[in-house]
Structure 1
């Protein structure tokens, strides 16, 4: 007899939308919520702040297993103590923290409901899992340290324990790691974003962390300061700047009324203190009010309002939002939708021919334009830059069998514009002269897709059928990604990717059928945006949400037909602006390769 845990325990549970007439479900584009008010510690937090104790399962095997996979959640210094309470007393010594080692939780996604087989003497439990990562004490999620896909243990019962005949369940033969389900990570932690400067300290780069809900409000600022002084996540570290060596908090941050005070040991340099003020303002996005920065007890920076400081120092230069475009009859054209801006074609007509796909970006008063154009039965990259409409283009010297949609690396640096494109299974950097230079990722298999983040210092790629993220510094003479990190996902047959938020991606692949998922940058969270597409997505473009503009948008192409989301609908020729009508007696083709200009 097999008994299965509630479907809600599955970290990747599907959120199925209702179907539209064309067989594709309607949905609204995802609004990315901010962190919201922080929960307080202790009893004020309720069940969200503190995971259930061993005796709270009510005699249910299923609930006990779910609670066991949540027991490690919370402040790391007590993780072993909480988990050991679930293990039968005679075996608790099998789970010991190694002296001098950091407490790390093994985060897993259940790939199916746990198999629970009761018997008179013991109950056998089998967990089939996907390894997601190692949750460290600094709130970072490091890559998995093992490839184990199955854990087994037993449940035993000590009758009459604590005066309750059904309250005596314990784990026997426990795993020798602190397991934490994705479900528990979502329930008992807040996902927070802190920021580090790039190498020349001209652009902030987001870094995702997890904070236990049990941490009281009074410690939130101290935790963020501790994260910043400890430095960026491992995968970002090679390509971003930490605080100066030796920087550390002298004591916990203190609050007087609405005013926060941070006291640090760090070099007393005005420029560094000013930049730390911007860094703290954005890393404490959930707070407003005044903040004082002290160096060894001496006031060095007073911020009267964190909110005003953020608005005075924006992370991104996004202008007035986005415009939608597509390729129609071999040329790029704007799309028109009620309530959305639409403008003229940003490329002069003489260069706007034989276009297969395009990537455009705004940089001050210029437009950066990269067009993949057909050349007989092959393709070339055509690149131009200037005030719109862009008139002067240069084509790549070499042609290719197939090229991906080109993307620009957005950056506040004054260096030359740089972009990335995939051609014939390899990743290339290109410049304004359309010169293509190979970029090494150090991962196996051909590269099939590439996407760049809003900050321009992180990329996502699909290579060898797997999803990777990597940090890079695009402001130097070349583009050299740091070590690529593979992200776990339930999707297979990956075909397209783009950034959907500061720390989220939109990813196309298959999960039983073609689907488009929203995936967090560490692979923890994934949820379907579209899972009734009916055809493989071959082209995907997104406008990423950020801490201020919290509405992301996506468009894609499947089976030669372009779609927009929110609610999902087919892009019709009537929505294509400034396109010449087809000759009499002929039919127009479909709009294809949609993209955003911002």
Structure 2
């Protein structure tokens, strides 16, 4: 289950850790013998189990060898034991009390290799041994449950002692957190979007819901895990751009250990005394955050009721009402998909239909007054922005009625189309974004409401030149394709707006840039494809072009990648994942309806876009 997902099962993975299965539970046995030598031994990942099967670990056997203790402990980390009680049985009492598995999860390419270390400083004797764990890092999940891609080598020591009374080996020194293979991580964890509200929405505007992906253990009461995570607040990366309607410090009522919806799909969430500070309007926003967060979980939640510490009802909200409280990008269905025809005019076909005959949009951009090289249509589908074929001029015109084109709202001094303006993008506030690639004057530009004095956006962390951009529907994040040394990578940053005083332009910055497709060294096209997901086409090192979904935290969501397509030059996706992907490729403009193969829309054309 993923935060933005298409469904589909994970790949099966071989392994050897299963000992037995009974009544729907699989037991992991820490029983593989390991000689006390310096040879390397890998911890095999757990075989793929049915998602309804819970996996439990076996405690250490009597007189287990030191290597068995280490391997059994590592295998116990991949089980569905809620509090890792079995894993703690491999530790001494002191180590069990101080070990904090929730502090972090380190994900390795394969299971950690184990090697016995001798003569490493005097700790080793007949009753004391040190093993080293090593592997290639893939990612880390921190204490906030936030995922981050990682590289390089992992290496940590594990120290064992033999108890003088019981003569049993136990671990007395180990790193905080847990470590496991990528295959085990994929089996054990699921990505879920928590939802907060954009913090810089103008007074009177509807709040915009912003997705904040986290990873929780899939078969260890994920609903309660996610609610606790939501109450704890946004992750560090997203925090500066969003707010939560839950009063600071709000927690579940003391004694509440699990949350389950009733037979009417209503979830009651008992909160502590802090929640009493919220008024009715704020409580409705709190319930909206919960409903948006729980929408992809099983069992289904159709409504939530928030309870105060004394058991009284604070508010109740249904799924339909939540959509009216906050703007939710993935809930807005576009009317049309747009592209440029062979005469470089802006045309459209109804979104989600089987229509193959495009019609020009009303107004100057559809009349061919100026040949266009790229376009963007506002999210209300009333206005469009078009960059001229030579890339040097940006025009804005209505697509809801006829009218003249007027003068360009922005120009570039770039000598070629590749060194001039990028395709533009509209945010949820109605502001227009575009990058100027002129080598002598590279800049990221914002035009408030698509007009007026251009504002240069600050990009203090940008290392390279922006080759393409797309603003998320929530208006708080922007995806950038950044070119440097002949390679193009995909980055996502936070948008920060600071008012500068009466009569002055605000200060707008893009901060916190991070790579979200580290496996691709040359990105050719991308688009937002959900609240927290993008679709990207690009090349791995020395490989053929491929298309995949990536999440804003850099992880790859569960489910199948889009069907292969040759020579993708541009791609368009809607935040509403019911809409088909549309691409410009060697075969012209093509689209990918759900559950089918790519279908030709028109033979000649370019620049497909959904609103935004």
Same structural fold, with TM-score higher than 0.5 when normalized by the shorter chain: yes
| Contact preservation (8 Å) 1:406, 1:422 | no
Work out which of the residue numbers 441, 445, 450 in structure 1 matches 2:464: 445
Cα distance, 1:241 vs structure 2: 0.5
Counterpart secondary structure, 1:279? helix
Distance 1:487 1:254, change over 3 A: closer
Q: Match of 1:141?
A: 147
Q: Equivalent residues in 2 for 1:259-408 (5 A)?
A: 259=266, 260-264=268-272, 265-266=274-275, 267-285=277-295, 286=297, 287-288=300-301, 291-297=304-310, 299-303=312-316, 306-310=318-322, 312-313=324-325, 315-316=328-329, 318-319=332-333, 321-335=335-349, 339-340=353-354, 344-348=360-364, 349=366, 352-363=369-380, 367-375=382-390, 378-385=391-398, 387-389=400-402, 391-399=404-412, 400=414, 401-408=419-426
CA RMSD of aligned residues (A): 4.7
Distance 1:458 1:389, change over 3 A: farther
Which fold has the larger relative contact order, with Cα–Cα distance below 8 Å and residues 6 or more apart in sequence?
1
Q: Match of 2:124?
A: none
Q: Match of 2:210?
A: 205
State TM-score, norm by structure 2.
0.68
Q: Match of 2:31?
A: 55
| Contact preservation (8 Å) 1:198, 1:473 | no
Counterpart secondary structure, 1:187? helix
| CA deviation profile, 1:451-487 (whole Å, cap 9, x unmatched) | 2223222222222433222222569645323312223
| Contact preservation (8 Å) 1:394, 1:433 | no
Q: Match of 1:487?
A: 516
Query: Aligned partners of 1:403 and 1:70: how far apart in 2?
Result: 53
Q: Match of 1:23?
A: none
Query: Aligned partners of 2:363 and 2:88: how far apart in 1?
Result: 61
Query: Aligned partners of 1:70 and 1:82: how far apart in 2?
Result: 8
Query: Aligned partners of 1:564 and 1:62: how far apart in 2?
Result: 48
Q: Match of 1:27?
A: none
Structure 1: runs of 5+ lacking an equivalent: 1-29, 36-41, 118-123, 155-169, 575-589
Counterpart secondary structure, 2:530? coil
Q: Equivalent residues in 2 for 1:568-579 (5 A)?
A: 568-569=597-598, 571=600, 573=602
Query: Aligned partners of 2:548 and 2:455: how far apart in 1?
Result: 31
| Contact preservation (8 Å) 2:426, 2:471 | yes
| CA deviation profile, 1:563-598 (whole Å, cap 9, x unmatched) | 333445474646xxxxxxxxxxxxxxx311222247
Q: Match of 2:66?
A: none
| Contact preservation (8 Å) 1:72, 1:83 | no
| CA deviation profile, 1:146-201 (whole Å, cap 9, x unmatched) | x42466999xxxxxxxxxxxxxxx99x99987323332222112322221011147
Q: Are residues 1:501 and 2:530 paired?
A: yes
| Contact preservation (8 Å) 1:94, 1:176 | no
Cα distance, 1:562 vs structure 2: 3.8
Query: Aligned partners of 1:140 and 1:77: how far apart in 2?
Result: 19
Structure 2: runs of 5+ lacking an equivalent: 10-20, 47-70, 116-130, 159-169, 500-505
